[in-house]
Structure 1
Amino acid sequence: MDLHKGLSMRLLALNVVGAVLVLAGVGLVAMTARGLLNYRQAASRHGGEVIELGADAQPQAGQHGFMARVVGTPRVVEAPRDAEFNLRVDSPVLVRHVEMFQWREIDIGGNVHYELDWVDRPVDASHFVNPRGHMNPGSFPLSGKQFDAGLVQMGGFRLGPVLIHALPGSARVTPDSAALPENLAASFSRYHDYLVTSAHPGDPRLGDVRVSWDEVPLQQVTIVGRLDGDRLVAAADAGDGKGYSVQVGDVSLLNMFPDLPVPPEFALTWRILAVLLATLGAYVLLSTQRRRRDGLLALGLGALVVGSVASVLWLGGGAPNLGGWLAVTLAGLLLVGWRLRRPD
């Protein structure tokens, strides 16, 4: 009687251990899948899952359409040029600013006064409270403009216009008055970082014009964008309405997108471990059956159970993962069928 009771308790314990191992395998694969799915769902708001290319990345087959993180200093291949002033700089973007010395109306608590200052747009003095003696010249002889580089690269990738315009920073350009075309050299002279029409640059007069330029400096940046062949562009279909990020320095992906959850590490290892746990659990369960100490059958059952659960979780979550788990499930099913048909 005691022997029978002891055997029953042993079988019960083995069944409990086996079931716990199978459930641990299922739970592990479910946890890994959920972590990956949550990460991909969050990443889709910014254009999709990001692959790490790091520094000096080059285009490779199979990358098209992915979001990528690249690090480096942009290289200007075709520099921008302000042809009117014969000014060319090694920068992704060159911006010309034009200002005129004009009257401005200052109203402080109902007290109106007027002062001359540099303003980057025509000031219509006809709307002044007291326009007499404060009229401005009118239209500018020149306009401000932006000049983009024809080709900017990060590693082996060409940057799209949106990413070029997103490059951060601004630095003043010192113009070279000796390079001015003859028609402008007669009117402009250099004063500090400006070209001015003033006869006495330190004492400008009404209607004088000054021109200056800013450039985007070349510095280390981190860019996240979509791979389009050998181009890095903004993802037009991103849920955040932006589809890219550009920051100064070597910035991690999670710092660029703080809303992203931390993706599971060693996902493949956890998946393999999940199948092995379920296999061990199935083997323990089979060991309670007199004729079923079959490692291959246990492996088939482990793959079948874990693969089935993972396939359900990945429905609509990504064809590669779903296809992989369906293959594992089918392999497990075939292995189980073969071992069950095998005579003992």
Structure 2
Amino acid sequence: MSMNSYREVSSRSWGSRLAGSVSGILVGLLLVMVAVGLLWWNEGRAVKRARALDEGLSQVVEVAAERVETENQGRLVHLSGRAETKETLTDPVFGLKAQALKLSREVEMYQWRERSSSETREKIGGGTETVTTYNYDRGWESNVIDSDSFKKPEGHINPAQMPYDNWSQTASRVELGAFRLSREQLAKLNDFRRIDLSDSTPGLRLPPGAQLAGSEIYLGQNPGAPQIGDARIRFALVNPQDVSLVAVQQGDSFVPYRASNGNEVSLLEPGVFSAQEMFQAAQDRNRMLTWVLRLVGVLAMFIGFRMLFGTLRVLAAVVPMLGRMVGVAIGLVAGILAATISLITIALAWIFYRPLFGGGLLLLGLALLFGLKRSNQASAPVTADMPASAGSPPPPPPV
């Protein structure tokens, strides 16, 4: 892999930075508002999903995959069995055939790639100088990289399009005993396994200029020394396998269960699992998503507060060291505000959805806010009502 680079130096005046920081106040305010909305919505979503899963677990019934019982129509059912199909999937270009649930073709092309990194230095007077380095290397990519958008396209030209497109096919009918899986359920089966290609691979045909290289088709002169525009094609499939599902039985297929709060439940896992295990896994995923969105909300709020106070940072940047000190202080305040307001927002949402737990979170958030206020008061200088030191003259009597 070869690499070369191009460096660009740009400057920005103190006035331009100040104008940008003022406009950033509006963006920061909007970001804080969006973060508050996200945190509130996320708590409601989490509670609604958890309650729907609890409701589903209380109503699910076990059924056998070998037969369709009419008395289970419209009921939430759990069953396990082998998902399989009688269909043969065929790649329309390369002719490869496989009896599988899914078949896919992945195409990659050897291309130039641009990566950039920037380093900004503050100068006396508040201006900045930014040095941006653009590095160019070559590698395999599954999408066309537009080399016209490169900072320095000369000598780094990529082909305008792939020689072949990515492609996939799903069997139209996949059976689970006496039942058939719905399209929504099939979309959850993505355990693709790479196909090792050989001359004996069923139906495989190579286009002109192509050759087999290991487990892939190679378009180019030498797989050991790829050139820009060379391509490689790989195939993968999802084999018949054991699955477990929870859904509403409708005829010989399934539809999602709609809980009393409107949330839909439709679970499918590769392997054999009990209903209890499947609902527990769904609850775990719900908790994980909740924490991820919480972190996203807190981070967005932190960035928003930093932008709100960004003008102070630029004003102090006339002296670079002072600007850095103010920046550290702004980061600390933004972090405290983001943590405090996030906790209060989450607590209020929980009070709205689950009052018992929400009250505790609200008290924690208020305690942080109170502690911040007390620490500010403690750090303020005391200038009044100080006792006179020993040996100092008494204050003059009142007139």
Query: TM range, normalised to the smaller chain?
Result: 0.5 to 0.7
Residue 105 of structure 1 corresponds to which residue in structure 2?
114
Percent identity (aligned): 25
Describe how 1:145-156 pairs up with structure 2 within 5 A.
145-156=167-178
Alignment partner of 1:136 out of 158, 175, 178: 158
Describe how 1:1-344 pairs up with structure 2 within 5 A.
42=52, 46=56, 49-54=59-64, 56-109=65-118, 110-177=132-199, 179-181=203-205, 184-235=206-257, 241-258=263-280
Residue 9 of structure 1 corresponds to which residue in structure 2?
none
Q: CA deviation at 1:162?
A: 0.9
Q: What per-residue deviation string (whole Å, max 9, x for no partner) do you get for residues 158-202 of structure 1?
A: 111111111242211223456334xx4323222122111022112
Letter in 2 for 1:98: V
Letter in 1 for 2:93: E
Q: Secondary structure at the match of 1:256?
A: helix
Letter in 2 for 1:156: A
Judged with a 3 Å threshold, the aligned counterparts in structure 2 of structure 1 residues 219 and 168 are, in CA distance, closer, same or farther, namely same
Q: What per-residue deviation string (whole Å, max 9, x for no partner) do you get for residues 203-246 of structure 1?
A: 21111111112222333221112212111343477857553111
Normalization by structure 1: what TM-score?
0.57
Looking at structure 1, the residues matched to 260 and 235 of structure 2 have their Cα atoms a distance apart, in angstroms, of 34
Looking at structure 2, the residues matched to 238 and 83 of structure 1 have their Cα atoms a distance apart, in angstroms, of 46
Which consecutive residues of structure 2, in runs of 5 or more, have no partner in the other structure? 1-50, 119-131, 284-399
Which consecutive residues of structure 1, in runs of 5 or more, have no partner in the other structure? 1-40, 262-344
Looking at structure 1, the residues matched to 258 and 103 of structure 2 have their Cα atoms a distance apart, in angstroms, of 26
Q: Secondary structure at the match of 1:254?
A: helix
Query: Contact conserved, 2:57 with 2:276, CA < 8 A, in 1?
Result: no
Q: Secondary structure at the match of 1:207?
A: coil
Looking at structure 2, the residues matched to 260 and 240 of structure 1 have their Cα atoms a distance apart, in angstroms, of 17
Judged with a 3 Å threshold, the aligned counterparts in structure 2 of structure 1 residues 220 and 134 are, in CA distance, closer, same or farther, namely same
Normalization by structure 2: what TM-score?
0.50
Judged with a 3 Å threshold, the aligned counterparts in structure 2 of structure 1 residues 123 and 69 are, in CA distance, closer, same or farther, namely same
Q: Secondary structure at the match of 1:138?
A: coil
Q: What per-residue deviation string (whole Å, max 9, x for no partner) do you get for residues 133-163 of structure 1?
A: 0010111132112200121111110111111
Looking at structure 1, the residues matched to 212 and 155 of structure 2 have their Cα atoms a distance apart, in angstroms, of 30
Q: Secondary structure at the match of 1:190?
A: strand
Query: Contact conserved, 2:110 with 2:141, CA < 8 A, in 1?
Result: yes
Letter in 1 for 2:204: L
Judged with a 3 Å threshold, the aligned counterparts in structure 2 of structure 1 residues 144 and 168 are, in CA distance, closer, same or farther, namely closer
How many residues align? The count is: 218
Judged with a 3 Å threshold, the aligned counterparts in structure 2 of structure 1 residues 120 and 63 are, in CA distance, closer, same or farther, namely same
Query: Contact conserved, 1:236 with 1:243, CA < 8 A, in 2?
Result: yes
Q: Secondary structure at the match of 2:187?
A: helix
Judged with a 3 Å threshold, the aligned counterparts in structure 2 of structure 1 residues 260 and 248 are, in CA distance, closer, same or farther, namely closer
Query: Contact conserved, 1:177 with 1:185, CA < 8 A, in 2?
Result: no
Query: Contact conserved, 2:60 with 2:77, CA < 8 A, in 1?
Result: yes
Q: Secondary structure at the match of 1:62?
A: helix
Q: CA deviation at 1:47?
A: 9.8
Query: Contact conserved, 1:224 with 1:246, CA < 8 A, in 2?
Result: yes
Looking at structure 1, the residues matched to 174 and 241 of structure 2 have their Cα atoms a distance apart, in angstroms, of 13
Looking at structure 2, the residues matched to 237 and 52 of structure 1 have their Cα atoms a distance apart, in angstroms, of 18
Letter in 1 for 2:275: L
Query: Contact conserved, 1:97 with 1:120, CA < 8 A, in 2?
Result: yes
Looking at structure 2, the residues matched to 250 and 117 of structure 1 have their Cα atoms a distance apart, in angstroms, of 40
RMSD (Å) for aligned C-alpha atoms:
2.8
